[in-house]
């Protein structure tokens, strides 16, 4: 695996820290800015909306630019957005700054996934993508718990400033380590948009939007669930968040390994097992040890979906993968936004602290159904193609027999 993947992983680490640390700092942000916990869900959702908006727009705007320059510029924009968050004077300026921070997220991971696949041997592409995304998962072992702990003692703004430093380091690493990659001067927006004629691509995006929303419906409110239901002290929440990161890292690695061998079964299994883990969490969250174990499983199954779905999209949009790959990140964050929304809606309705886990289980089950339907349709298409090829071969064989 090329060293350049490490540079991409460093920025992914910064992105993962800033995206998920906000979920661990919900009580601190609410208390400092004098808003309710469900209102802080806007800070999470608005970041996700920024990703959804920025992924197609920034990818289209940079379609013909050199890949290395694009990755460097997107990393720099992300770092600047975090600086705006750290100095935001109030709640709504913070919401706006989070939107700006989210804009380069999808475009970066889209271009980064394509770059990672190009840097690796063909039979290792899924694992190369998982190496880049390992920065995102390792952030949940080190970055998010560290930022949460720092935010609890020095304030959430201090945590944001640390992310600024990590983002700056990652930007410099990309400029130094990533080689010049071939651009596609004859591609452009029209060719990239042509990939969206594929029904399979839309089904893959639908799987992410609904299925991964299950993960975020629960995880967006994991801190109050752990303190109010499981009985963890505020300081112990960081340890459980680190365990979630361990699960994410394992899931990302296992998902990348499985995607290189049996892609469709890996996708369906990940969503089904995530739904079961989330449903179980509504029960296991009531004691500390069982809550901690289930959090690991939720992270594992939840992030096993990332390299598998990303690899599927790269397959289905191989002629114009950059926009499609970036759109997957938009879909992940649309899942983030609607998961946080529906989880917060359940809390606001007075359904109890564990209700986001049940909402999440239902959404993950919808993702499984869409993934299974997509697999079935793909098999039917393959069988039809084989039948057509066989039918075309029979007249040719008959003609050859006549000539002989």
What value does the mean pLDDT take over residues 42-60?
A: 82
346 vs 64, higher pLDDT: 346
pLDDT band at 272 (very low <50, low <70, confident <90, very high): very high
Q: How far apart are CA 389 and CA 378, in angstroms?
A: 17
Task: Give the percent of the chain with pLDDT over 70.
Answer: 86
pLDDT band at 400 (very low <50, low <70, confident <90, very high): very low
Q: How far apart are CA 19 and CA 144, in angstroms?
A: 9
Q: Write the CA distances from 268 to 51, 219, 250, 313, 323, integer angstroms.
A: 25, 21, 17, 15, 24
First to last CA, the chain: 54
What CATH code is carried by the domain that includes residue 244? Answer: 1.20.1250.20
* Residue showing tokens 């990818």: 59
Give the pLDDT confidence score for residue 317 in this predicted structure.
67
**249 pLDDT above the threshold of 70:** yes
Give the pLDDT confidence score for residue 370 in this predicted structure.
92
**375 pLDDT above the threshold of 80:** yes
Question: Tens digits of per-residue pLDDT, 196-241?
Answer: 777 888 888 888 889 889 998 988 888 888 888 888 887 788 788 7
Torsion of CA 369, 372, 374, 375, to 10 degrees: 180
What value does the mean pLDDT take over residues 343-369?
A: 90
Q: How far apart are CA 154 and CA 177, in angstroms?
A: 34
pLDDT band at 100 (very low <50, low <70, confident <90, very high): very high
Secondary structure of residue 220 in the 3-state scheme: coil
Report how many domains make up the chain. Answer: 1
**402 pLDDT above the threshold of 50:** no
387 vs 374, higher pLDDT: 374
Give the pLDDT confidence score for residue 97 in this predicted structure.
92
Nearest 5°: phi and psi at 271? Answer: -70, -40
Domain that holds residue 19: 4-403
Q: How far apart are CA 285 and CA 231, in angstroms?
A: 9
């Amino acid at each position: 695996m090329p060293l350049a993947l490490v540079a991409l992983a460093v920025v992914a680490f910064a992105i993962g820290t800033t995206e998920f640390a906000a979920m661990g700092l919900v009580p601190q942000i609410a208390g400092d800015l004098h808003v309710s916990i469900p209102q802080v869900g806007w800070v999470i959702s608005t970041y996700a909306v920024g990703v959804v908006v920025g992924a197609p727009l920034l990818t289209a705007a940079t379609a013909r630019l050199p890949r290395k320059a694009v990755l460097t510029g997107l990393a720099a924009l992300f770092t600047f957005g975090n600086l705006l968050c750290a100095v935001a004077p109030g709640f709504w300026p913070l919401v706006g700054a989070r939107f700006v921070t989210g804009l380069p997220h999808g475009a970066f991971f889209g271009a980064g996934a394509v770059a990672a696949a190009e840097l690796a041997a063909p039979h290792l592409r899924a694992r190369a993508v998982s190496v880049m995304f390992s920065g995102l998962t390792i952030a949940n072992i080190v970055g998010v718990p560290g930022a949460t702990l720092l935010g609890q003692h020095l304030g959430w703004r201090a945590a944001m400033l640390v992310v600024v430093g990590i983002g700056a380091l990652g930007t410099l690493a990309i400029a130094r380590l990533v080689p010049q990659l071939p651009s596609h001067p004859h591609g452009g927006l029209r060719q990239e948009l042509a990939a969206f004629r594929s029904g399979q691509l839309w089904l893959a995006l639908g799987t992410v939007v609904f299925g991964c929303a299950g993960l975020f419906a629960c995880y967006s409110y994991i801190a109050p669930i752990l303190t109010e239901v499981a009985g963890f002290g505020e300081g112990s929440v960081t340890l459980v968040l680190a365990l979630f990161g361990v699960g994410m890292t394992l899931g990302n690695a296992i998902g990348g390994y499985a995607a290189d061998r049996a892609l469709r079964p890996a996708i369906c299994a990940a969503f089904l097992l995530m739904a079961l883990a989330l449903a179980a969490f509504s029960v296991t969250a009531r004691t500390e040890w069982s809550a901690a174990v289930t959090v690991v499983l939720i992270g594992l199954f939840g992030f096993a979906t990332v390299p598998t779905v990303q690899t599927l999209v790269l397959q289905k949009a191989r002629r114009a993968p950059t926009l499609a790959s970036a759109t997957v990140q938009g879909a992940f964050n649309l899942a983030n936004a609607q998961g946080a929304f529906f989880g917060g809606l359940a809390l606001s309705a007075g359904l109890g602290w564990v209700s986001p886990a049940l909402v999440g289980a239902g959404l993950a089950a919808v993702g499984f159904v869409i993934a299974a339907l997509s697999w079935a349709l793909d098999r039917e298409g393959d069988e039809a193609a084989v039948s057509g090829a066989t039918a075309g071969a029979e007249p040719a064989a008959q003609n050859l027999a006549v000539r002989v």
